[in-house]
Chain A
């Protein structure tokens, strides 16, 4: 079993739709939970991070973490064509001073006008 599972999609939605992206993980040592966005031929950029169960909101984006179920989600409200990208979940374990991040394979999202 992989440490991180993420449905690769592709996911295609109309502009204005609510998008739900999800990842499951198996490593109980994961302590920080992140979502990165990656446009084609670019490096990933951090969207949101959290370290506790519950919801965290930032504009149109909401990150949700359920540690008991080892499940994290990213919701995008009022989706825009500019949101079209690959979304990667990422995790850092309790020994975060070691630095490595564990990524999902990414979900490819297309928002059409």
Chain B
């Protein structure tokens, strides 16, 4: 499978715990995005990387959230001291930076439940 992959697919945690999600983009895609989607809503942008550089962060990304993309390949999203409001689907997408049109391919998401 050459699509965007995310791990784990589901995560249940207790409030106050830290969690980390991983995203593997499509090979040769140099742009990688994180979105959050809550029930009944569309995805909301969190942050964006071009290669290893984090170029934009939404105000939704509080200081409890940190994202990295070492070596410009896979990315991790860590949430510290989770809160019940963090329960959501976390989606990763990637795109080929060479095109003028920014088609983003999404992974299946990681569903987080904070108890």
B106: which of A43, A92, A97, A105 is its contact (CB, 8 Å)? A43
> Which A residues are CB-close (under 8 A) to B42?
4, 6, 88, 90, 103-106
Partner-contacting stretch, out of B14-22, B62-70, B97-105? B97-105
Which residues of B, 18-63, contact A by the 8 Å Cβ criterion?
31, 33, 35, 40-45, 48, 50, 55-56, 58
Interface centre among B4, B40, B104 (most CB of A within 10 A): B104
Which residues of A, 17-47, contact B by the 8 Å Cβ criterion?
32, 36, 41-46
Q: How many residue pairs bridge A and B at CB < 8 Å?
A: 70
- Tally of contact residues, A, Cβ under 8 A: 27
- A44-71 interface mask toward B, CB cutoff 8 Å, 1 = contact, 0 = none? 1110010100000000000000000000
A49-B103 contact in complex given A43-B109, A98-B48, A106-B42, C-beta closer than 8 Å: yes
> Which B residues are CB-close (under 8 A) to A46?
103-105
Q: Is the interface of A mostly helix, strand, loop or mixed?
A: mixed
A residues contacting B by CB (< 8 A) are 4, 6, 8, 32, 36, 41-46, 49, 51, 88, 90, 92, 96-106
Q: A43-B4, A103-B42 are in contact. List 17 more A-B contacts (CB 8 A).
A: A32-B102, A41-B111, A42-B108, A42-B109, A43-B93, A43-B109, A46-B103, A98-B56, A99-B55, A99-B56, A99-B102, A99-B104, A100-B33, A100-B45, A100-B58, A103-B43, A106-B41
